[in-house]
Structure 1
């Protein structure tokens, strides 16, 4: 598929596939779909095998290579038989010619690279390189933004084994490289004010990445914040001296001197000679990754999804019995939000309001973060809480955005964060019932049924082990009070113990 076709698909909300056949994702949880419907991909170890085959780009992996990828130096005694079982199960879920046996090993032969989200990201990144080389920086930036949108949290989330850990690191590093390039292009096309907040967060997360600090200094300088740009250099020099005993790289020192000298060339961008750069509507995608072993509550998931999509209620509040934590409010809300995500093409916002803690999040600060995520320049965000809330509602007008407000303290904390525009929706979790939100659809969550609890436990530990000791498994989930969080912790600890 050409980058032109991919860019057209992405602009109308497509994922780059033609809507039929099988497609896969590894830039987040390892998942598979057929004809748009999700496919069960089995236990973490089975997903580790699937990931190992998908990441080989069609090359054959021998059975010993797969065993090493999944278990490393401590494989089970029947590892080869387990691998064959995993392969057999996966074949039943996919088309017959997809997972093939070849030369004593196995391979996944995709009909085209874009069937895998990583392949689509590579195609978009390659198109961005060509567009930049041809001088079309705006198109290059847009292609990179579409590539970065494919990430859905941590790559290979929840996949065990040394191979997955290595690939997880590699994919995270590549994402950071793409992000640096996209931010560089942001500055080249004159979006320096918009880039400041993102670069500030990135330099905090990656304090030793000098290139990010260089971009932040340049973005601040072009935004008329010369003193702050110089302060970034001073902080960088101090950090490098304390942590590594080295000086900043020459490029960073040269930029500091040019800022001190007010070098006119630093202010030049591709669009600096025009009146203003074109406005680009930002589409945030802030939802946390959903758990691949989500269990139970199928009717409730469908009920909440239908309410969000239908527009009958703009606010859906999910509340638990008072004082109960670990009942699965966040897991359910995130799962519902992902199910409804295609119906909110203009983005999804997420925040943990920390309502159960000693320092709940301030709505004013959350509004500022939401406005920046929606593309509002930091310089035009007002200080007044009421003005921020008004600007937030105005920014959402005409868009279809889903807002997930997790772990809310009370209705007063939530109300300024609710969208006022038709077509938007909010999904709220809290330990208290949001009775003060008269427009909300309230749902109370209780503990899981014994059957659902055992099903969740089995998905994490494995059917073979649970089947051999069913009564012991029932005792464990009972001791966990049938609370999903407690069951997940206990099951994960048991799954990590092979004997």
Structure 2
């Protein structure tokens, strides 16, 4: 059973081609097979199949085609242990099939295997030949859209690269005649490809056909002048001059060494079977640059403390057995909870597990202006070795090249401080080779079937350990009670602990007891937990500003409750709204990490929420700073009713 797109879009059952229906229906399958391990959103599917002129009611048209496609695939694969189908996921449509049955996936895997360092030339040539035999013509044959044309060109260049590598291997194995037919066939569709022209000229020369090689050069020179108004590259010109003078030619064109060819200067035969003494060891030259191994992680914190359980859970998920989907984790936590520090620390720890490098992108989801995923793709592609001048402007094409660059490489990708799924989706890999760790204040829709982990507050003991590492154990041990009080006032928030430590380190003459006393004043607590860029208030404000107005008003008003724990019934008099509206506002505050769940809903009892610690201090500041108005009067006027409701609930 083979799913094919390196040519016309087909399903080969082993004995016959399956009937996949009309062209548009086959095109939908083709789109899904380009990245079989990644769902394709409906909007992208429509754009890739129809472009800018989709038919009326295109959603119904897609549904009809997908339904018919499912039937065709089910009939063709009925005898398989797991029949092929098309499934709908929360993020789009996806083919349910072993990726290894897709010819493009097999091609990439063979190409990766052939590029292994130290592989013998015969094995390299055999692997490349297997990869090239998968091609039956232009990719996505029969599919007509701008997207298909762009992707077809990208894949054609990938085919030419594999063909060039195979030609290099065959020429070094003293079999130049074996590559002539394949090179000529490829040049019929891409006559201006100078990398293929160079191999064809060299193979002709080494076959003893110098006249043919010189005539071919003249024809390509005229074509380049006519089409591009320029001359052939200097490398091609130098090869022409070498052939013209009958001098020894290097059997490995520039760039072959970096693809795993024999070392430069390798001994080759002097006179071939065709009687032309052209193989000679070239002059030594500098080794070409290796494929870049990105190392984009920020510096690890030298005093990172605790989180052993979370580190172990994430590490086991990211390094688990290979599957169809990338290993992915979404780490969720409030502002200042230490998500970035944990992600960076883990990235450094997992370097051996991801030998092809670590990619890192700060998505600034909690800032005033979140990062544009299109720009982030550009930075990541440059780190992966893509020439900046060759970065496409089209977002879909850039994402395709990015996924191709990730394919077959064991990388760790950290997307830090994501704002939503729309920002994350274009940055996700298309294969299971890359591990993905996403941090976010919000709750993303678990892209790639990711495991979602909530980052809790630091336990009190870990908070004390962190203070000791930042302040010095001697200073903490001199005043253990004061250190414990500081840790409690910081509420297990790593950002608060770091702000406190920096403040104390700038005042080495202060006893810890004095600072603990200042933190005990709730009205000044957030002032005390701020130093330079470390500010609990600023971190909370970023989350607060992202809330809808109803939730912001609820937070301001809830600060007037006399107890930290309550349910939506008790908060109704404060907010002046019905139970459902208050419950919705409270749940939004839970998602923003201002409220925590004290007791989940049970039977007829509603959820009980908690507002305490630094979040309560922040809410009280907001409430105190509001202009007098109706809502403020409502809070004061309802105080008696709220107290009565609270007392009745205990």
Shorter chain as denominator, the TM-score bin is: 0.3 to 0.5
TM-score, normalised by the number of residues in structure 2: 0.35
Q: Greater Rg, structure 1 or structure 2?
A: 2
Higher relative contact order (CA 8 A, sep 6+): 1
